[in-house]
Chains A and B, each alone.
Chain A
């Protein structure tokens, strides 16, 4: 369970948010939305533990080590889809078999691209490969920054299904998105300044 208390953050002398407090329980998704530059990405990075210039408390309780997928997709252009995912699993301390990696790629309909270097894929394909992590890794907390960008409608559907499954198994999701998301158990948070 995630508890945020009196979170304030300032960047470049501009206050992004002040005294933000909210809670997200297991099995619930929190969608953060707001205009461009309202601090969505900064908030997600704070929650993930990447951005440290803030005041207030972020308490994840037991659930450390979130799975974070940000604007930078975390894929090496020079490594194949399979190698990239294998590395993702390794850095998460997860021992994986190649068959599991291939299966995850199949789930995002990238099964035919396991050996292709990510540098030669299209933007949308890279998006899918990075989302294949959701099928491979077992983190209870997901933090996704604009996960629906650059993927097509079947991709969106596949992602929504995966998220609902994650939530029903007691996971937590925090995501930012401009578009409405068809999720059960959705909480909303709007950032304005």
Chain B
């Protein structure tokens, strides 16, 4: 358990020393979604209708772009090798790295989402649901994304390859999450959606890091 905390601490330290890794994906996805009103017009009706989808696109983009960097530097400078060979289980290190990654990616976009919601005319109920949905879904996205990051290590194909591999896998959380926000905006009860998202999250917490761990071993065996 100590190693999970140490890994989180180490990764956060590295992110803070190189804030571009957190900031750039975020800036990029905020930029992309602010193009929507410019593209479809500023009408509150249209924007309100598609707001949930836009916010999810922002969350997906942020996760995708930051997940690409998750193991990349550790792979290039050889610290990933040490994580494999060390006495501490690689699985726990992977958990630590995923937590750190979520703290600087998924959590940040979750905390920013009320702001986005207001920009796109989501009502208060909708905003609450947005935060809750992202809180449950962004960890799942980071967990699944880490598998893609591990499998594409050392291929030098950049973020596009990861996007192709993992975006289809994000579909269930996207559908559930958007439906949850829409239901909430309409003033209906969305407890069922919460349970589904939580169930998917629980499964991902249990299994995704196992796949990521194996993926790292496979990619390093090159």
Contacts and interface: CB of A to CB of B under 8 A. Distances in A.
Interface of A: 48-53, 65-68, 70-79, 83, 87-88, 90-94
Nearest to A117: B17
Given A50-B221, A72-B77, A75-B77, A92 B88 contact: yes
A161 to B, nearest CB: 24
B3 interface: yes
B208 interface: no
A51 B3 CA distance: 25
Contact of A76 (B77, B84, B222): B77
A91 B83 contact: yes
Interface stretch (B6-14, B41-49, B50-58, B143-151): B6-14
B78 A74 contact: yes
Main secondary structure of the interface of A (DSSP, over half): loop
Contacts of B217: 52
B87 A93 contact: yes
A91 B81 CA distance: 11
Given A72-B76, A78-B17, A50 B81 contact: yes
Contact of B81 (A70, A76, A83): A70
Contacts of B6: 87, 90
Interface in B163-222: 217, 220-222
A68 B87 CA distance: 12
10 contacts: A50-B221, A65-B87, A72-B76, A72-B78, A74-B77, A74-B79, A87-B6, A91-B87, A93-B86, A93-B87
Interface residues of B, number: 26
Contacts of B14: 76, 78-79
A66 B87 CA distance: 9
Contacts of A87: 6, 10, 79
B10 to A, nearest CB: 6
Given A79-B13, A91-B93, A74 B221 contact: no
B160 interface: no
B215 to A, nearest CB: 13
Contact of A65 (B73, B85, B222): B85
Nearest to A46: B221
B78 A73 contact: yes
Contacts of B157: none
A52 B88 CA distance: 20
A71 B76 CA distance: 10
A68 B77 contact: no
A83 B13 CA distance: 11
B82 A88 contact: yes
B17 to A, nearest CB: 5
A92 B6 CA distance: 12
Q: Which of B76, B79, B85, B222 has the most CB of A within 10 A?
A: B85
A74 B18 contact: no
Closest 9 CB pairs of A and B: A72-B78, A93-B87, A91-B86, A74-B78, A52-B221, A78-B17, A74-B82, A92-B86, A90-B6
